[in-house]
């Protein structure tokens, strides 16, 4: 019994001192930069919706002496704006990030367990090689989250080459409002159609995908005490009478999000 209590306390301590675990427990987004020599990928994991924004970028070979933390910050800034660059975890790779290899593992490890163990072995080797600022427990936490996903949970976006390395470049620098769109209605393609409409209205939709659960009612979420972004999103969708739920403690790259419930329809948009 004493051994069990000791193990439980050790696990609690690891979770408390692990930055990634704290973010995941709080349901906040986690940004991870996969840094290759001439191309990189910035991943934003949204734990509340089990989706990952994957921003791919081609770039010149980094100058000698440029720290990985700086490269990761510049990639995050170019991909998703200043909020994403506040805290970025990184993994340095000797070649370009292989998303196809990731799909193979995520989509096939249940049928071929050897893929799981191969991926786990590679993950653990990162820390010993000094190729990441993630702790061993951070890596374990992220690995545990990602093995629940498949390639369909990822939304791929290409970052313009000119965005990297520019201090004022990035999504937020355009002045567009960063929003997320999630389909909880059960109707195929609703998030994509709504995202297209919002982009035409000038919004920058950084995430579009399915919500983790079905919802009867549509919700607008604001991630700042400044509700201007949520108000603009609500107005663009013709949902002026809908209550906005503000979550200032939820650290998200986006300024606002809409969760499309079963009550959402095209007629609602045109009110």
Candidate from 61-65, 100-104, 259-263 with smallest mean pLDDT: 61-65
User: Which tens digits make up the pLDDT trace of 118-170?
Assistant: 888 888 888 888 899 888 888 888 888 888 888 888 877 777 654 454 332 22
Do 134 and 188 reside in the same domain of the chain? no
Tokens 């193990």 belong to which residue? 7
Please give the average per-residue pLDDT across 68-90, as a whole number.
Answer: 83
Q: Is 9 a member of any domain?
A: no
Q: Is 125 a member of any domain?
A: yes
d(CA 152, CA 155): 8
225 pLDDT above the threshold of 60 = yes
Do 156 and 51 reside in the same domain of the chain? yes
Nearest to 76 by CA among 48, 37, 34, 46: 34
Do 241 and 117 reside in the same domain of the chain? no
Do 188 and 249 reside in the same domain of the chain? yes
pTM of the model: 0.60
Nearest to 87 by CA among 17, 134, 26, 152: 134
Domain that holds residue 154: 25-163
Q: What is the total count of domains within the chain? A: 2
pLDDT band at 172 (very low <50, low <70, confident <90, very high): very low
Do 198 and 148 reside in the same domain of the chain? no
Residue 50 CB-density burial (10 A; 0-12 exposed, 13-18 middle, 19+ buried): middle
pLDDT at site 250 = 61
pLDDT at site 32 = 93
Percent of the chain residues past pLDDT 70, beyond the cut: 84
Please give the average per-residue pLDDT across 63-81, as a whole number.
Answer: 83
pLDDT at site 246 = 80
Do 157 and 38 reside in the same domain of the chain? yes
């Amino acid at each position: 019994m004493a051994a069990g209590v000791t193990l439980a306390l050790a696990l609690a301590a690891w979770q408390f001192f692990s930055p990634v675990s704290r973010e995941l427990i709080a349901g906040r987004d986690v940004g991870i930069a996969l840094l290759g020599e001439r191309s990189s990928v910035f991943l934003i994991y949204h734990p509340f919706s089990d989706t990952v924004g994957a921003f791919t970028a081609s770039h010149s070979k980094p100058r000698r002496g440029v720290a990985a933390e700086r490269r990761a910050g510049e990639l995050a800034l170019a991909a998703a704006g200043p909020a994403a660059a506040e805290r970025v975890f990184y993994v340095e790779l000797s070649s370009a990030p292989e998303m196809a290899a990731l799909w193979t593992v995520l989509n096939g490890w249940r049928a071929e367990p050897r893929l799981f163990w191969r991926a786990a072995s590679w993950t653990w080797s990162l820390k010993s090689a000094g190729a990441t600022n993630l702790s061993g427990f951070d890596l374990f936490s992220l690995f545990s989250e990602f093995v629940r996903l498949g390639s369909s949970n990822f939304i791929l976006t290409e970052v313009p080459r000119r965005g990297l390395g520019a201090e004022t470049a990035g999504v937020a620098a355009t002045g567009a409002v960063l929003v997320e769109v999630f389909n909880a209605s059960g109707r195929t393609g609703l998030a994509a159609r709504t995202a297209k409409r919002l982009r035409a209205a000038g919004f920058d939709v950084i995430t579009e995908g399915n919500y983790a659960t079905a919802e009867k009612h549509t919700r607008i979420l604001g991630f700042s005490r400044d509700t201007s972004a949520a108000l603009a999103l609500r107005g663009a969708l013709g949902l002026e009478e809908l209550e906005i739920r503000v979550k200032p403690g939820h650290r998200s790259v986006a300024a606002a999000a809409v969760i499309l419930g079963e009550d959402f329809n095209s007629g609602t948009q045109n009110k």
